[in-house]
């Protein structure tokens, strides 16, 4: 299979490249430096020349708080850019797998969110990701899978575990939000699932929820990270009101799928954290040599 990956230099994109290589696919990597998905003409030209069977769009504006200051910029990438990729993929007969977010929900539901639940983003970032889902569905109605995931972390970029591990090494005490819950998702696990979806003979159309199994709060996640790091730092719970951010986050970001076997099941978030920590420890050892 000929597989194209946009956003190939990003945190998820790097793991997608590794998973696609491991699966033996004919791979076409498009980092942002080579292809800005907000440039419709460039996307059309690049995919027409590449002639892929499947395009995995992992390119995204990921600065949640920055989107509050520049919603136009976020929409250019997450909405119009996503539509550009789906349109160009459809024009060359390729399937689009688009990566979206738990932030399309308002977080007020008391149970996990499933694919058919009403959306209601609370932030500019969430609105841009929802607009991207709709653009992909409009441009490639029968040739797309949109995968919503939650709380991504991985060794290929800035992420929550890296920040917590650094701060825990610098401070005696950390206050971490305890009233927001979600499904921490290791990008290595998600990448393998996305490549698996791409390789299916019959790919599911529409939205799938694919996130790390289990759920926790940011506080519980941080406590696990600090314990694994073996540093002396007390992690204390705090409320969202005590830790205000420019963008409003949903209180409940827990995702589950109602689509049975169509949605890949990922390992638990603790397994993802263990794999992440092993990879980052190995990388540190290599740098120290």
Query: Which residue numbers are catalytic?
Result: 125
How far is CA 155 from each of CA 45, 53, 272, 273, rounded to the nearest angstrom? 31, 28, 11, 11
Residue 225, both tokens = 């990270």
Return d(Cα 35, Cα 193) in angstroms, integer: 24
Nearest to 148 by CA among 259, 18, 270: 259
Which residues on neighbouring strands pair with residue 152, listed in sequence order? Answer: 185
Please, where are the H alpha helices in the chain?
11-22, 40-50, 64-69, 71-75, 82-91, 124-139, 160-170, 187-198, 218-229, 269-288
Strands 181-182 and 216-217: antiparallel
Return d(Cα 57, Cα 139) in angstroms, integer: 14
Query: Would you list the DSSP string of 98-126?
Result: EEEEGGGS-S--SS-B-TTSPP---SHHH
Number of Cβ within 10 Å of residue 114's Cβ equals 15
């Amino acid at each position: 299979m000929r597989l194209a990956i946009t956003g190939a230099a990003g945190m998820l994109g790097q793991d997608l490249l590794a998973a696609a290589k491991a699966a033996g696919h004919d791979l076409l990597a498009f980092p942002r430096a080579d292809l800005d998905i907000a440039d419709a003409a460039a996307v059309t030209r690049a995919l027409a020349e590449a002639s892929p069977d499947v395009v995995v769009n992992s390119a995204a504006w990921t600065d949640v708080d920055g989107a509050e200051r520049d919603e136009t910029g976020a929409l250019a990438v997450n909405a119009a850019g996503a539509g550009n990729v789906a349109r160009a993929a459809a024009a060359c007969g390729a399937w689009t797998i688009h990566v979206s977010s738990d932030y399309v929900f308002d977080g007020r539901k008391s149970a996990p969110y499933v694919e058919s639940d009403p959306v209601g983003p609370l932030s500019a970032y969430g609105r841009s990701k929802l607009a991207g889902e709709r653009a992909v569905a409009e441009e490639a109605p029968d040739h797309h899978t949109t995968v919503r995931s939650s709380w991504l972390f991985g060794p290929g970029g800035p992420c929550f575990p890296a920040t917590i591990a650094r701060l825990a090494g610098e401070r005696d005490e950390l206050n971490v939000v305890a009233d927001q819950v979600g499904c921490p998702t290791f990008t290595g696990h998600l990448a393998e699932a996305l490549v698996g979806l791409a390789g299916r003979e019959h790919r599911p159309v529409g939205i799938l929820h694919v996130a790390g199994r289990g759920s926790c709060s940011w506080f519980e996640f941080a406590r696990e990270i600090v314990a694994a790091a073996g540093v002396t730092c007390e992690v204390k719970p705090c409320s969202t009101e005590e830790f205000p951010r420019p963008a409003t986050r949903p209180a409940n970001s827990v995702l589950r799928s109602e689509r049975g076997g169509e949605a890949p099941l990922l390992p638990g978030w603790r397994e993802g954290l263990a794999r992440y920590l092993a990879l980052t420890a190995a990388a540190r050892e290599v740098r120290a040599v």
